[in-house]
Amino acid sequence: MTEDRYMLVVSHTGRRESLDAAATVVTRLVAAGVTPVLIEDEREDLLSACGPFNGAIRMLDEVDRSQLELVIVLGGDGTILRAAEIVRGSAVPLLGVNLGHVGFLAEAEREDLGETLRRVLLRDYDVEERMTIDVSVLVDSTVVYSSWALNEATIEKASRERMLEVVIEINERPLSSFGCDGVVLSTPTGSTAYAFSGGGPVVWPNIDAILLVPLAAHALFARPLVIAPTSDIAVEVLTRTNGSGVLFCDGRRTWDLPPGARVEARRSETPVRLARLQRGVFTDRLVRKFDLPVTGWRGRAEA
């Protein structure tokens, strides 16, 4: 009796290149006896690109998520973040094929798709866990919203003409208050995303930490901070200017922050699992993705 294998395929259906790649993936999976699984939002677009396959394709709501072996994501980092949201709470790993620009979370490029699928079918990949953060919004001491983030949770000003006044708290102690465009609370995974654009440090993904990066802060002490992962962090929206804010989690999930709102963040107990084909070091990924100049490097001389 053959083993039933299910793999979820998530793509950026708004791009022709992504649809073509999805058609290639679905065709290859079906030919190998693996059942491709699609999400309902992408059903029409993907089936029009892939064909009906005589019932060989299943929808996600027809499959127990514990049956999923892998999520194959075709797109950029935004598509990978969407896929992570779709399977949040399950142990299924995600493997990204970059069809975007930098694609820091992706493991393979479009031109490597054939080899990537060969190794996927052989289960020839490693799985690493990436830390996430849990985020809660409190108004009048009542939790009104809860979410999570793989890259970052960002508190931003709601209107262009008025800065956001905040006070930062670490482990129940106030640290500093200032006016700003926003504050980024980032994981090491997100250190090369929004936090990086805001002037934060690049943190190797095997380091457990939470980054706090103020955006355009009007303060002498408003430097990026690297905080222990066991810390509880809070950002309170001050009422003195009546300015309001907006919470963005991975740029996908949002919540309005009225004056007086409090955003709390801490390490989540639920990581995101990424499938890795490359066993190289993070330094090489930085050089490749950012096209960093390394001309002149000689390395350590042999003894």
- The radius of gyration computed from the CA coordinates of the chain, to the nearest angstrom, equals 21
Query: Which residue stretches of 34-144 are H helix?
Result: 43-50, 77-86, 113-121
Between 113-121 and 16-31, two packed helices, what is the crossing angle to 10 degrees? 30
Side chain identity at residue 117, one-letter code: L
Provide the greatest CA pair distance for the chain.
Answer: 69
Long-range CB pairs of 286-295, under 8 A, 24+ apart, other chains included:
286/192, 286/202, 289/102, 289/103, 289/104, 289/192, 290/102
Spatial CA neighbour of 188 closest among 172, 216, 212: 212
CA torsion 35-3-82-51 (nearest 10°) is: -10
Can you spell out the DSSP letters for 52-70?
A: -GGG--EEGGGS-GGGEEE
| Residue whose C-alpha is closest to residue 270's, from 184, 182, 146 | 146
CA dihedral 133, 136, 137, 140 (to 10 degrees): -140
Tell me if 269 sits within 8 A of 88, measured CB to CB: no
Residue of 4, 20, 61, 77 marked catalytic: 77
Helix (H) or strand (E) holding 186: strand 182-186
Based on the residue annotation, tell me whether 77 is a catalytic residue of this protein: yes
Active-site amino acid positions: 77
